[in-house]
Amino acid sequence: MRPVKQIGVVMYSQSATSVARSAIRSPILADPRPTLKDLFAGQPVESFSAGEALIWEGDQPGQIFDVLAGVLRVYKVLPDGRRAIIGFIYPGDVLGVSFRHRSLFTADAVTAVKVRRLSRGRFLSLVNESPDLQSQLFALLCDKMSAAHDQMLLLGRKSAEERVVSFLLAIHHKCGEGAEIEVPMSRLDMADYLGLTIETVSRMMTSLVRRGLIHATGRHRIALSKLGALRDIAGRDEDEDDPRPAPARRAVWPN
């Protein structure tokens, strides 16, 4: 609770399903139903290398980014340097929505990143032209809100082990290939995201390995050997899918 040496925060991906869906449709075709991401189609692709910042806390939040590749972290920092990573942003997600007059956090690249950007004004006015896009934006915000709530539960009431396991399972849920997951961020990033220290994260990981629940298959690659046991530890609330298929599309906002 005392450290004053770290910097950087991340925002949890949690791409709205309706938004993620866009990835499988060509942004060039006549739009049978444009997605939020299609709005960025004409923009040039920009690259950022690990560590570079896209948004600074306190800035006028003028830009909105469509993340094409790489991982970003969104964070807030206390005056004395303590950092809290709000979430990590993955490809398929949109960064920069959800604040008003002033950016409330910093966002920088965890890995090399490719994005397309749109000014906030342009983005919003484009969204306004389509009830369907408005609905998608609304859904996106609701998803992010839901993720934020889950994180509050984690930070406020879960033990170190539960936090680490929940984190691993969340990554698995988001983009797991089989039982293996890619963990691009450092222990420090994990710690700042989970409200722990790097040492504690490391100890928990070691403990999980020793018990055979996970095992490292590379520097940033981890195999979740016993998903069931891991889910038991996490509390069974991170990895559940919405059981219902996407509801029938309705007018403008989802009802």
Footprint on this chain of a second copy (rule: CB under 8 A): 1-2, 76, 78-80, 82-84, 86, 97-102, 104-105, 120-121, 124-125, 127-128, 131, 134, 137-139, 141-146, 148-153, 155-159, 192-195, 235-237, 242, 244, 247, 251-255
Minimum distance of a second copy from residue 242's CB (angstroms): 5
Helix (H) or strand (E) holding 200: helix 198-210
Closest CB to a second copy among residues 41, 104: 104
Minimum distance of DNA from residue 253's CB (angstroms): 39
Minimum distance of a second copy from residue 44's CB (angstroms): 22
Q: Which does 186 bind (CB under 5 to 8 A by kind): a second copy, DNA, none?
A: DNA
Using alpha carbons only, what angle is made at residue 83 by residues 215 and 55, rounded to the nearest 5 degrees?
100
| DSSP conformational letter for 8 | -
Closest CB to DNA among residues 104, 223: 223
94 in Cβ contact with 64 (< 8 Å):
yes
Closest CB to DNA among residues 101, 219: 219
Query: What is the rounded CA–CA span in Å between residue 186 and residue 184?
Result: 7
Q: What is the dihedral of CA 150, 154, 155, 156, to 10 degrees?
A: 100
The alpha carbons of the chain give a radius of gyration, in whole angstroms, of: 18
Minimum distance of DNA from residue 200's CB (angstroms): 3
